[in-house]
Amino acid sequence: MADVLVVGAGPVGLTMAAELARHGVSCRIVDRLAAPSPYCRAIGVTPRTLEVWDDMGIVRDMIDAGLWIDGLRSVIDGHPVADARLDLSDLPYSELGLPQYETERLLTRHLGRFGVAVERGTTFQALEQDANGVVVRLEKDGVTEQARFRHVVGCDGAHSAVRHALAIGFEGEAFPMMFMLGDVHIDWDLPRGMALRAVRPVDGGPPDLFVAIPLPEPGRYRVSTLAPPALASDGGSDHGIQSEARGPGLADLQVIADDLVTPKPRLTDLRWSSMFRISMRLATAYRRGGVFIAGDAAHIHPPTGGQGMNTGIQDAYNLAWKLKLVLDGTASGDLLDSYEAERRPVGAEVVARTRAASEGYGREKGHASDRLANTQLLVSYRGTGWVRDDGASDAAGPKAGDRAPDSVGLRRTGVGFPMRLFDVLRGVEHVLLVHQARLDGADLSAFARQVREECKLPLRIVAISPHDVADEPAVASYRDAERSFETAFGAPEAAFLVRPDGYIGWRGPSYREPGLAAYIGRLLGGEPGGA
């Protein structure tokens, strides 16, 4: 019997299943569609999602299949304005353009390496929970199956059957207008990797707009625009692709481009098109008992800033390691409460921010003042009940609940090349980073051996110092040759416990700080056990 059922095989469900498998959790993943959707819905991949894929071991494949989106050309009221370049060269990754069907293809291939295949054409019908888990009814080709799982994760989109089965509210509203999507070739002088938006503000209503996002194939773009009244329909759903409606023709898209873009571009080779609607909704809960929802099943919002798919992927990344610790008995079930506590506020913020950006589209005064606003690197769990900070409040650098930043130039005895901190953190365990100018290697090694013997939490201990550090048993030692770690973390003497999802769960002045033991004890649902 599989421990977890994942419902939905879009990017979020595939990430959920792959992360569970990487952590050693047995799972099944089902999807009602007989084949993946051909529509290019999500394209933008944030720098934070690329960090997630780095940890998963698939970032190279994703980058090779995509292209870097490095700027935006705006045309306002028919007048081109200066191109805005996006410079994220100081970050581990920039913003990638990758069609959703490619993302799904590569995630499916990655999942297959764990021996897990998507069970397509399989429909989730109902569930019942009891003290021993969740009983689910599935249907395929007219045959009904009843199976038991310890947990179920609904990643089945805006119209989630899992969310409906849990009777979780999905509060919000929809934009009244209909939009058009199309995958076309465009002949113009736009540099490769640059997006375009053409906008004409309309008093008292949504602006006329034409947006073109580059695809990896040269000259190809996914374009979106408001649908004219003649093509808009009152039927269909209130969010997403309107698969039952006739998509726009090439001439329909060309008319909008001619009206808004200067000089007029030539659109050809329409491969697919569709109508779509946009809603802003947030689930009233992300969990009922042993069942969870993630991605569009939990939050939907305008596509402004490319936040939707990425937020869902990080929902899954947050939940997988927690399910692992609870399923194998390392942590108590209370740890699963942290999923909603951490991720629902993120969903609420994304819904509010993308709505505001969409309603003000074309009326902004300049470009976003914070170039990191849409990178998702600023997402933090500070102040939530499942992180603890025993460090100085006025210290520079990340605090407990923040993403652990990368650093470069780390040297290890016997390794002839410098390493990144992300190389050190990669894996499924917690990592305790101990940074001191003069490390007592023997004492740290004794501490590490004690932790290994007495603490159930899978944990690696890493020593980092600006000076040479002798290798000691149970400790991985690195020299911060370029003082990159000290700069990134802002503390010459400190310790950080980094969770498997790359966030700092605990921060303190020393690994001997009693707060570390208290934090681990809370994580495990009991006493700290010698940590």
Query: Which CATH number belongs to the domain containing residue 160 in this structure?
Result: 3.50.50.60
Expressed as residue numbers, the domain containing 272 is: 179-277
- Given this model, what pLDDT does residue 526 score? 52
Which residue's entry shows tokens 């998509």? 247
Least confident of 122-131, 224-233, 319-328: 224-233
Q: Is 153 exposed, middle or buried (0-12, 13-18, 19+ CB in 10 A)?
A: buried
Final residue of a structural domain among 359, 375, 404: 359
Residue 362 has what pLDDT? 63
CA torsion 19-23-27-29 (nearest 10°) is 10
pLDDT at residue 236, rounded to an integer: 58
Radius of gyration of the chain from its Cα atoms, rounded to whole angstroms: 24
| Helix (H), strand (E) at residue 462 | strand 459-465
Asked if 240 and 256 sit in the same domain, the reply is yes
Residue 160 lies in a domain: yes
* The pair of three-digit structure tokens given for residue 312, joined into one six-digit string: 């869902």
Co-location of 166 and 300 in the same domain: yes
Confirm whether 377 is domain-assigned: no
Q: Is the peptide bond before 263 cis (omega within 30 degrees of 0)?
A: yes
Domain annotation covers residue 247: yes
* Residue 215 vs residue 178, higher pLDDT: 215
The arithmetic mean of pLDDT across residues 130-145, rounded, is: 96
- How many structural domains compose the chain? 3
How far is residue 216's CA from residue 426's CA, in Å, rounded to a whole number?
Answer: 28
Res. 369 pLDDT band, cuts 50 70 90:
low
506 pLDDT band, cuts 50/70/90, is very high
Confidence (pLDDT) at 247: 83
Biggest CA–CA distance in the chain, Å, is: 77
pLDDT digits (tens, 9 = 90+) for 429-467: 999 999 987 777 788 899 989 888 888 999 999 999 998
15-45 pLDDT, tens digit per residue, is 999 999 999 999 999 999 999 988 778 899 9
pLDDT tens digits along 296-308 = 999 998 887 789 9
In this predicted structure, the answer to whether residue 528 has a pLDDT above a threshold of 60 is no
Q: What torsion, rounded to 10 degrees, do the Cα atoms 26, 102, 276, 190 define?
A: 150
Q: What angle do CA 315, 51, 336 make, to 5 degrees?
A: 25
Among 320, 242, 170, 116, residue whose Cα is nearest residue 162: 170
Mean pLDDT of the chain: 91
Q: What is the pLDDT of residue 344?
A: 98
Distance of CA 269 to the CA centre of its chain: 32
Q: What is the pLDDT of residues 246-291, one digit of tens each?
A: 789 999 999 999 999 999 999 999 999 998 888 899 999 999 999 9
Please tell me whether residues 207 and 191 are part of one structural domain.
yes
Mean of the pLDDT values across residues 118-130? 98
Give Cα 434 to chain centroid, integer Å: 28
Q: Same domain for 16 and 160?
A: yes
Instruction: Compute the average pLDDT of residues 97-115.
Output: 97
Write down which residue in 277, 308, 328 finishes a domain. 277
Residues 136 and 116: their CA atoms lie apart, in Å, by: 19
* Res 527 pLDDT > 50: no
Cα–Cα distance measured from residue 465 to residue 235, given in angstroms and rounded to the nearest whole number: 63
- pLDDT tens by residue, 57-79: 999 999 999 999 999 999 999 88
Mean pLDDT of 361-374: 68
Contact present, 316 and 378 (Cβ < 8 Å): no
Listed ranges 81-85, 418-422, 491-495; the one with the highest mean pLDDT: 418-422
Average pLDDT over residues 404-415: 95
Q: Who has greater pLDDT, 203 or 105? A: 105
- Which 3 state secondary structure label does DSSP give 96? strand
Q: What's the pLDDT score for residue 471?
A: 79
CATH number of residue 486's parent domain:
3.40.30.10
Do 400 and 469 sit in the same domain of this protein? yes
Q: Are residues 407 and 499 in the same domain?
A: yes
pLDDT the model gives residue 244: 65
Locate tokens 């580059």: which residue?
214
CA distance from start to end of the chain? 34
Residue 530: pLDDT band (50, 70, 90) is very low
Task: Please tell me the distance from the alpha carbon of residue 200 to that of residue 392, in angstroms, as a whole number.
Answer: 50
Tell me: do 159 and 187 sit in the same domain: no
The pairing of strands 459-465 and 476-480 is parallel
Q: Which residues are within 8 A (CB) of 512 and not within 5 positions of it... i.e. 6 or more apart? A: 447
| One domain, residues 453 and 409 | yes
The pLDDT assigned to 235 comes to 60
pLDDT at 480: 93
Q: Which of 277, 308, 324 represents a domain boundary (last residue)?
A: 277
333 and 348, same domain (yes or no): yes
Q: Are residues 138 and 25 in the same domain?
A: yes
Question: What's the confidence (pLDDT) of residue 270?
Answer: 96
Question: Is 531 within a domain?
Answer: no
**pLDDT for residue 239:** 61
Query: Is 378 part of a structural domain of the chain?
Result: no
Q: How far apart are CA 382 and CA 390, in angstroms?
A: 12
High-pLDDT (> 70) share of the chain, %: 95
State residue 436's pLDDT score.
84
Do 272 and 292 sit in the same domain of this protein?
A: no
Predicted confidence band of residue 393 (pLDDT cuts 50, 70, 90): confident
Judgement on whether residues 159 and 286 belong to the same structural domain of the protein: yes
Q: Is there a domain that residue 379 lies in?
A: no
- Based on the number of CB atoms within 10 Å of its own CB, is 500 exposed (0-12), middle (13-18) or buried (19 or more)? buried
Predicted local distance difference test score (pLDDT) of residue 529 = 37
Query: Given pLDDT bands bounded at 50, 70 and 90, which one contains residue 531?
Result: very low
Residue 307 maps to a domain? yes
Q: For the residues 171-179, what does the mean pLDDT come to?
A: 87
Residue 479, CA atoms < 13 Å, CB-side half-sphere: 15
- Specify if 375 maps to a domain: no
Q: How far apart are CA 161 and CA 154, in angstroms?
A: 8
Q: What is the DSSP letter of 305?
A: T
Distance CA 164, CA 125 (A): 10
The tens digit of pLDDT for each residue in 43-59 reads 999 999 999 999 999 99
Classify residue 329 as exposed, middle or buried by CB count within 10 Å of its CB (0-12, 13-18, 19+): exposed
Asked if the model's pLDDT at residue 468 lies above 50, the reply is: yes
- Mean predicted confidence (pLDDT) in 343-370: 78
Mean pLDDT, residues 395-424 taken together: 95
Q: Which residue has the tokens 């917690």?
A: 430
